[in-house]
Structure 1
Amino acid sequence: MSKIKIFTAEHHDPWFNLATEDWLFKTFPEDHHVLFLWRNKPCIVIGRFQNPWNECNIKAMETDGVVLARRQSGGGAVYHDLGNTNFTFMSPRNEYDKDRNFGIIIKALEKFGITAEQSGRNDILVDGKKVSGSAFRMTTQRAFHHGTLLIKTDMGKLPQYLTPDKTKLQSKGVKSVASRVANLTEYASALTHDSLCDEIIATFQKTYGESCKVEDLTTERLSKIDSLYETYQLYSDWNWRFGSSPQFAHPISARFPWGGITLDIDIREGKVAGLNIFSDSLSVEFIERVQEVLPGTRYAPEDIRYTLLDGTKDLPPEIQAMAVDVAALVEKEME
């Protein structure tokens, strides 16, 4: 039987936790089974092939300081806060067994008098409500299974930051599926992050018939690892979180005192790749200038506003005012 390793994280930075998970996955000994337990401050974590503009209310997130993170695995968008515990199982590919992993979580929950069951490929349910969702990743030599456990998550935040699909966004990305969810404290009020982690660790060790020291991955320790810092830079970078989105189109229309306008925007790698404009405005100069300056701009309200205003600053005031109108329109449509 392979050896085991168990890690916990002292910090709650979602980008750093995802980077740590990635670093562990790439560097753990190939004959080991690994358990990593961690929590994030308020954030939305989207799947590898998802479109954040489709899944999230980015404006509300920015206002409340809720960060966006993108993981390497597939699946849907989830809200994390300190009431949510994350687990990661890593194994050699030839010894990987997701049902065994699910069994460890379910047996740990039994210690609190909670009867849970595995549902489908991804979820754990209690009384028909989802308390845990999972995603997976495999390479030729390794495999991991990570998931969430809703302990005392602020459920009121979910509808604020996770939005229904925007029908105007013609995206090829994978969309999330809504589920009925519940916190585990509804079934065991005394359950906490620490107490549940203790039971998961004990069950993990019993399952493999081995014991090991639990290693706390402190910021001080991890900051000395150059390859981990490079991975953190990747996860925190706008180009990974937004630019990795699937190609999509966003048609935007409105009517102003100066005329109607429709912008048919094609977004690739998080930037405006193409643009068709339809308008009955008398200002041909304005339309031509927008078509000229907007391609290549990051698909973010502040970037589009800057490009439109800076790109028309040499034109007459009435055209500059039109640019302000269009910038405000795009910002509103991207909320």
Structure 2
Amino acid sequence: MAQTIMKQAVMSGVCVVVGLTRRTSARCLATTVKNLAAVKKDRELPVEGEITKSVFMSQSTDVYTNLALEDWMYKNMDFSNHHVMMVWRNDPCVVIGRHQNPWLEANVPILSEKDIALARRNSGGGTVYHDRGNLNITFFSPRERYNRKYNLELIKRALFRSFGIKASINEREDLIVRDKYKISGTASRLSRLTAYHHCTLLVNANKSDLRSALAKRETNATPSTPSSVANLVEMDNQVTVDNLQTAIGYEYLRTAALHLEDGGQNMISKQRGFQFVNPTDEWFPGLDKLKSELQDWEWCFGKTPDFTVSRSFPVPAELLAPSKVYSASQELAINMSVVKGLIDNVTLNIPPGFVESGFHGEASVITHLKGKRFTSEALTALQEAMLTRHLVTDIKKLDEKEQFVAKCFDQVVNTI
């Protein structure tokens, strides 16, 4: 049974927050919802000794729910005198940064095939893979007291104190072990009043799925910087997500709010402790709307910065005009520009041998692609457009040349 060291009820409107130093459940966590007008009018932050801390543990493993919870807290809670570290884990998913290109960063067809979710978060930074073998951590504080180095040093301390694992922080503010292996990436979001810094720790993630889910595509967009990664279980096979969560949670609670001073058990006893949180609309009014927005195609894919993609495909000899000798290689080239996730323009460069063998009508075909999503929707539109040319002959399938063109478009849209 969990032992209660401290129990404090704080009234705010009609809600009560209960803080415990051992794991327990807190029904309503909306007590620290901001009175924004008052906060903006008089922004005087408390001294360090007046700040308390909590460790929130999300009971959801759905990436959209957890990102929505993170966003809800960022928008609605006042962290002036109450700093929060949230720990959470997700079912398999790929999470891209706010300004990234999912088609560049992830192998989108593989994600669909393996039922791996793709989500775009509100913070910047690079692309990461999550599964139940990851521990995700979010540090919430007032904007003025945002301190990435403090947070990362705190994680370093917990790794060494509990498991004897030595980690370092590189120039990109990633956590590194054995001088080369990345165990954690980092990103943040800051507003005028509030900030959060979040990171993910690889504990026992499926590295095979990680490698297949993250991929590179040749476009003009800026990709993530790849790194050699390692799981913490490779450093110490006793590490689990649960005991790591506990270790970092207690390190957070035993450390002073503004500088890295270890206050031990005395400091822990002054905090609000560990709290299970249930990310539902009942607990956090408006959460379902935030989750719905994060799941929407327009957010996940439509927010992608404009990009272009170009691919060339050698035309098989059997599809070229017979008894011809060509001085140059016969390649079909496809150039495509994509705006807000939709195909904006397509050019199809057809080699002479393919034209002479009888492939025509490309202009009327590619005009049907404009405005289509950069997904299999575009391939379907292409196939339907080519089939319309057969109506007068009652042919209901594509010929070999059209099948080749369709296959090339499929590779542009659906493969790296």
TM-score normalised over the length of structure 2: 0.73
> For residues 221-243 of structure 1, what are the alpha-carbon distances to aligned partners after superposition, in whole Å with 9 as ceiling and x for unaligned?
44664521111112111221112
- 2:385 — aligned with what? 311
CA distance in structure 1 between the aligned counterparts of 2:361 and 2:283, rounded to whole angstroms: 52
- 2:409 — aligned with what? 330
Indicate whether 1:48 and 2:98 are aligned. yes
Indicate whether 1:62 and 2:112 are aligned. yes
- 2:297 — aligned with what? 238
What secondary structure does 1:170 align onto?
coil
Q: After the TM superposition, which of the residue ranges 265-274 and 25-34 deviates more from structure 2? A: 25-34
1:197-276 paired onto structure 2 within 5 Å? 197-207=245-255, 208=257, 209=267, 210-219=270-279, 221-222=280-281, 225-254=284-313, 255=315, 257=319, 261-276=332-347
Indicate whether 1:153 and 2:153 are aligned. no
Amino acid at match of 1:198: T
Shift of 1:192: 1.2
CA distance in structure 2 between the aligned counterparts of 1:46 and 1:258, rounded to whole angstroms: 42
Asked whether the 8 Å contact 1:48–1:73 carries over to 2, the reply is: yes
Asked whether the 8 Å contact 1:252–1:330 carries over to 2, the reply is: no
CA distance in structure 2 between the aligned counterparts of 1:189 and 1:38, rounded to whole angstroms: 21
When residues 306 and 215 of structure 1 are mapped into structure 2, their CA distance, relative to the original with a 3 A threshold, is same
Give the alignment's Cα RMSD to 1 decimal.
2.3
CA distance in structure 2 between the aligned counterparts of 1:310 and 1:37, rounded to whole angstroms: 48
**Equivalences, count:** 329
**In the alignment, which of 50, 61, 72 is matched to residue 23 of structure 1?**
72
Amino acid at match of 2:337: D
CA distance in structure 1 between the aligned counterparts of 2:402 and 2:372, rounded to whole angstroms: 15
Asked whether the 8 Å contact 2:366–2:382 carries over to 1, the reply is: no
What secondary structure does 2:363 align onto?
helix
- 1:119 — aligned with what? 170
What secondary structure does 2:276 align onto?
strand
What secondary structure does 1:274 align onto?
strand
- 1:278 — aligned with what? 349
Q: Which runs of 5+ in 2 are unaligned?
A: 1-47, 258-266, 322-330
Amino acid at match of 1:250: V
**In the alignment, which of 179, 198, 210 is matched to residue 227 of structure 2?**
179
CA distance in structure 1 between the aligned counterparts of 2:110 and 2:306, rounded to whole angstroms: 23
Q: Which runs of 5+ in 1 are unaligned?
A: none
CA distance in structure 2 between the aligned counterparts of 1:272 and 1:133, rounded to whole angstroms: 32
- 2:24 — aligned with what? none
Shift of 1:6: 2.5
- 2:59 — aligned with what? 10
Report the identity percentage: 31
Q: After the TM superposition, which of the residue ranges 317-326 and 133-142 deviates more from structure 2? A: 317-326
Asked whether the 8 Å contact 2:54–2:253 carries over to 1, the reply is: no
When residues 118 and 94 of structure 1 are mapped into structure 2, their CA distance, relative to the original with a 3 A threshold, is same
Shift of 1:285: 6.3
CA distance in structure 1 between the aligned counterparts of 2:402 and 2:271, rounded to whole angstroms: 65
CA distance in structure 2 between the aligned counterparts of 1:202 and 1:211, rounded to whole angstroms: 10
What secondary structure does 1:49 align onto?
coil
Asked whether the 8 Å contact 1:15–1:69 carries over to 2, the reply is: yes
Asked whether the 8 Å contact 1:312–1:319 carries over to 2, the reply is: no
Amino acid at match of 2:304: S
Asked whether the 8 Å contact 1:123–1:132 carries over to 2, the reply is: yes
Where do 4+ consecutive residues of structure 1 move more than 6 Å? Answer: 282-285
CA distance in structure 1 between the aligned counterparts of 2:131 and 2:404, rounded to whole angstroms: 37
CA distance in structure 1 between the aligned counterparts of 2:310 and 2:70, rounded to whole angstroms: 38
What secondary structure does 2:224 align onto?
coil
CA distance in structure 1 between the aligned counterparts of 2:86 and 2:198, rounded to whole angstroms: 9
CA distance in structure 1 between the aligned counterparts of 2:295 and 2:361, rounded to whole angstroms: 36
Give the structure with the higher percent strand.
Answer: 1
> For residues 190-217 of structure 1, what are the alpha-carbon distances to aligned partners after superposition, in whole Å with 9 as ceiling and x for unaligned?
1211111112111111123441143322
When residues 22 and 251 of structure 1 are mapped into structure 2, their CA distance, relative to the original with a 3 A threshold, is same
- 1:196 — aligned with what? 244
Shift of 1:269: 0.6
